[in-house]
Chain A
Amino acid sequence: MKFLLTLLIGVAIGAFLFLAGLYYNPFVAQASVSPIAVTDARVMDLSFSAVPGDGLLYTNNGESTVQPFPERVGELWEASIADSEVWVTELQNSRGVPVGLGIKFSTRSEQTELIRGAAMTNSIWHVYLPGRGTFVIDQTENFWSYIRDVVIPARWSSGDNWRGTYNRITTAGPGSLGTGRLTGGSGEFTDLTGEAVETLTARAYSVQTGPVSMTGNLTMALPVQAASQ
């Protein structure tokens, strides 16, 4: 009996050590500097508040920390879309002026491998910029550092919240440099392709309501003739 108890305590310690190693793994890191920061292409920036209540519409399966908004929006409860969320928001330019509309579809990805520090989602931005045109951005995103540095510390905190400064690029592909793929639709973006990365900057998070102060940024590298128009 004594040996069995010792074995079980050992197993618990071993499991704890493994999880601690997973959490503090120094070999897992996400960049905070964009791979398209150095490029010959023209760069366009769009930003948005990543707090769901600040957007126009947000919906998910209704069982997550972040609740759908507005209150009467339909929820994505069906099995095929229960791991997805939809987010509609105004997009602002670098001076904070609203310049368009973005719709983001995100789905948790089966490429998720926590042992490698990969909490992946597949996401699509469908964007309309009045006077310029439309495009989509296809990306895989890795939220592991966000979970590790923001969400888990908030849960550990006695006040059930987190305050600090978090800034990381979430885009991890499908481009070979970890960039997303932009495909133009109409207007000046017709027939264009480019690269894009999304960055999250968080300052406050609550376990009860999710992000309290968080902004997102889309940085896009476009062929010169498009961005200069």
Chain B
Amino acid sequence: MFKTLIIGVFLGIVGAGATVYLAPAVDLHRERSLIDVQPNGGNLEVFRINLPRDRLLVGLSGSVGSIPAGLEWPGEELLGDMQAELFKVRNRNNAVVGVASRLASSTEETGPFIEWALHLPARGTIYAQMELSPSVEGYRDGKLRAGTRDFQELTGSVREQFIAGEAGNEESQGQIELQTILVAPLGDIDEETDGDML
């Protein structure tokens, strides 16, 4: 009887250990990355934000239109005219793949700025700084300033464009489209493979 108990204790320790070790504590959902390879130009990916549905926050001092209702945004004496926005971000197939923040200020004393942080949970984060003036065509270009995890070694550009929705349709005010074109650094040439090819 005692031997059976000891065997049970052993099995319990091994079983619990194996369960904790082997069962994934976190298993993030992944949407398929929809990437176009650009000739001589890296990988292009398009993200979309449907307005107003995907907007989580609009914070602007002195504005009556802050979102969500009940938000107590700091006054101008702290943040000046800085506008902070938070969005859900979708891929080209309209599936939510992340969240993003956009900070912009035109009167910041150290210099105006517009920047994005796109947080894609299963992949990493893109931190981009945009040009202040939009192009004649209505888009604004920017540069990848830093990336984390999957985006860590990449360089490239980001383009932001607002696409207006149907006039008078409150449910579809438009879309913000973010295009990223990201390039991986050149790796070392594998001499063996190179030799085989020759």
In the complex the two chains form, what is the Cα distance from A138 to B82 in whole Å?
Answer: 22
Kindly list chain B residues whose C-beta atoms are within 8 Å of the C-beta of A113: 21, 25
Residue of chain A at shortest CB distance from B117: A126
Identify which of A16-24, A41-49, A159-167, A197-205 touches chain B.
A16-24
Chain B residues with Cβ under 8 A from A57's Cβ?
56-57, 68, 71, 86
Number of A-B contacts (CB under 8 A): 226
B binding-site residues for A, Cβ under 8 Å: 1, 4-17, 20-21, 24-31, 55-57, 59, 68-74, 78-80, 82, 84, 86, 88, 95-99, 101, 103, 105, 108-111, 113, 115, 117, 119-122, 124-125, 127, 129, 145-146, 148-149
Residue A115, interface by CB 8 Å: yes
Contacts of B122 in A (CB 8 A): 80
Contact A7 B110 (CB under 8 A): no
Which residues of B lie under 8 Å from residue A73 when comparing CB positions? 56-57, 68
Write out the residue numbers on chain A whose beta carbons fall within 8 Å of the beta carbon of B96: 78, 80-81
Do B4 and A138 have beta carbons less than 8 Å apart? no
> Complex Cα distance A128/B79, Å?
9
CA distance A71 to B74 in the complex (A): 18
Find out whether the CB atom of A115 lies under 8 angstroms from the CB atom of B21: yes
Residue contact B29 to A136, C-beta cutoff 8 Å: no
Of B12, B21, B80, the residue contacting A11 (CB under 8 A) is B12
A130: Cβ under 8 A from any B Cβ: yes
Q: Is the CB of B8 within 8 A of A9?
A: yes
The reply on A219 being an interface residue by CB < 8 A is: no
The residue in chain A whose Cβ has the minimal distance to the Cβ of B56 is: A74
A interface, over-half SS: mixed
A185 interface neighbour in B80, B88, B113, Cβ under 8 Å: B113
User: B69, A70: Cβ atoms under 8 Å?
Assistant: yes
Do A59 and B56 have beta carbons less than 8 Å apart? yes
Q: Quick check: A187 and B13 within 8 Å, CB to CB?
A: no
Question: CA–CA, A185 to B79, complex, Å?
Answer: 17
Q: Give B14's nearest chain A residue, CB to CB.
A: A14
**CB of A149 within 8 Å of the partner chain:** no
> Apart from A101-B74, A130-B80, what are 8 other A-B pairs with CB-CB below 8 Å?
A2-B1, A11-B8, A15-B12, A15-B13, A88-B59, A110-B24, A134-B103, A185-B115
Residue from A10, A79, A110 within 8 A of B9 (CB atoms): A10
Q: CB-nearest residue of chain B relative to A118? A: B25
Min CB distance, B131 to chain A, in Å? 12
Q: Which 9 A-B pairs have the closest CB atoms?
A: A10-B8, A14-B12, A187-B110, A70-B70, A78-B96, A79-B29, A18-B16, A11-B12, A183-B146
Known: A11-B9, A86-B56, A122-B148. A6 touches B1 (CB 8 A): yes
In-complex Cβ contact of A3 among B4, B97, B149 (8 A): B4
A residues whose Cβ falls under 8 Å from a Cβ of B = 2-3, 6-19, 22, 56-57, 59, 70-74, 76, 78-84, 86, 88, 90, 98, 100-101, 103, 105, 107-110, 112-115, 119, 122, 124, 126, 128, 130-134, 136, 138, 174, 181, 183, 185-188
Contacts of B98 on A, CB cut-off 8 Å? 80-81
Tell me if A78 and B88 are in contact (CB < 8 A): yes
Query: In the docked arrangement, what's the CA distance between A79 and B28, Å?
Result: 8
11 contacts between A and B (CB under 8 A): A3-B4, A7-B8, A14-B12, A56-B73, A70-B68, A73-B68, A80-B121, A86-B99, A133-B113, A138-B146, A186-B113
Bound complex: CA of A151 vs CA of B27, how far in Å? 22
B110 touches A131 (CB 8 A): yes
Asked whether A80 lies within 8 Å of B86 as measured between CB atoms, the reply is no
Contact of A124 among B78, B80, B129, B148 (CB under 8 A): B148
Q: What residues of chain A lie closer than 8 Å to B97, measured between beta carbons?
A: 80-81
The smallest beta-carbon distance between B74 and chain A, in angstroms, is: 6
